[in-house]
């Protein structure tokens, strides 16, 4: 009773694709961050699945680190979201176009 690796990889990629869709299609910052989280989760799943090919628990170690990184990133991201909301009272990303030119 084995799980084909291809299934796992396809599932992970499907989740990643959904995350990509969310990042590109949504204008609300919170939803974009949520979609990025989904992508991160998908990639972490991919790592763990790939690590089961090799003996040892290295996959779970890497999963831990990915987790830590995701946490750190979300913390800062949400702080920035709060700052933006305080300034513009809206979470529309199109307001952040000051970098034109």
Partner 1 sequence: MIEILFILSAVIALACALITVTSHNAVHALLFMVVMMLAIALIFYLLGAPFAAALQVIVYAGAIIVLFIFVTMMLHQGQRSIESEHQLFSLRRAGLPMLLSLVLFIEVVVLLYSGEQNALSTSANSDSTKEVGMLLFGRYHQLIILAALMLLSALIGAIHIATPSNPVQGEQ
Partner 2 sequence: MLESLLLLIPALPLFGALTLLCLRLPRQVATCIALSSIGLSALAVLFIQWQTASDFTPIKASWGSWLTVDTFELNFTFYLDGLSLMMISIICGVGWLIHIFSAAFMATDQGHQRFFAYLNLFVAAMLVLVLADNLLLLYLGWEGVGLCSYLLIGFWHTKRANNIAANKAFIMTRVGDTAMLIGLLLLFWQFGSLNIEHINQQAAQLPSNGELVNLSCLLLFIGAAGKSAQFPLQNWLPDAMAGPTPVSALIHAATMVTAGIYLIARHASLFASALEVLNIIAIVGTITLLLGASAAMVQSDLKRILAYSTISQLGYMFLALGVGANAAASFHLMTHAFFKALLFLAAGALIHCLAHQHNIYKMGGLLKKMPIVSVAFIIGCAALSALPMLSGFFSKELILSHVIEQGHHWLWLGGVLGGFCTAFYSARLILLVFFGPVQQVPDRPIPKLMSVVMACLILLSLLGGILPASIALQFPASTPQLSLLTHYLPIASPFLAITLAYVCWRRGVFTAPITSPFRKNFHQVLLDGWRFDSLYNTLFVRPYFSLTRINRHDIIDTFYRAIETMMVALHRLSSSTQNGSLRLYNASIILFVVVGVAWLILTGGAT
Closer Cβ to partner 2, 16 or 44, answer by number: 16
Closer Cβ to partner 2, 2 or 97, answer by number: 97
The yes or no reply on residue 6 touching partner 2 (CB under 8 A) is no
Using the rule CB under 8 A, which residue among 7, 27, 72, 83 binds partner 2?
A: 27
CA atoms within a 13 Å half-sphere pointing along the CA-CB vector of 19: 17
What six digits make up the tokens of 16? 């990643």
Using the rule CB under 8 A, which residue among 43, 54, 75, 100 binds partner 1?
A: 75
| Contact partners, residue 65, CB within 8 Å, separation at least 6 | none
């Amino acid at each position: 009773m084995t799980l084909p690796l291809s299934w796992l990889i396809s599932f992970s990629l499907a989740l990643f694709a959904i995350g990509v869709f969310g990042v590109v299609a949504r204008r609300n910052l919170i939803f974009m961050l949520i979609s990025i989280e989904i992508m991160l989760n998908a990639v972490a799943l991919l790592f763990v699945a790939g690590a089961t090919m090799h003996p040892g628990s290295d996959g779970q170690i890497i999963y831990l680190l990915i987790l830590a990184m995701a946490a750190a990133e979300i913390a800062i991201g949400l702080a920035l979201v709060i700052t933006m909301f305080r300034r513009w009272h809206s979470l529309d990303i199109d307001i952040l176009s000051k970098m034109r030119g």
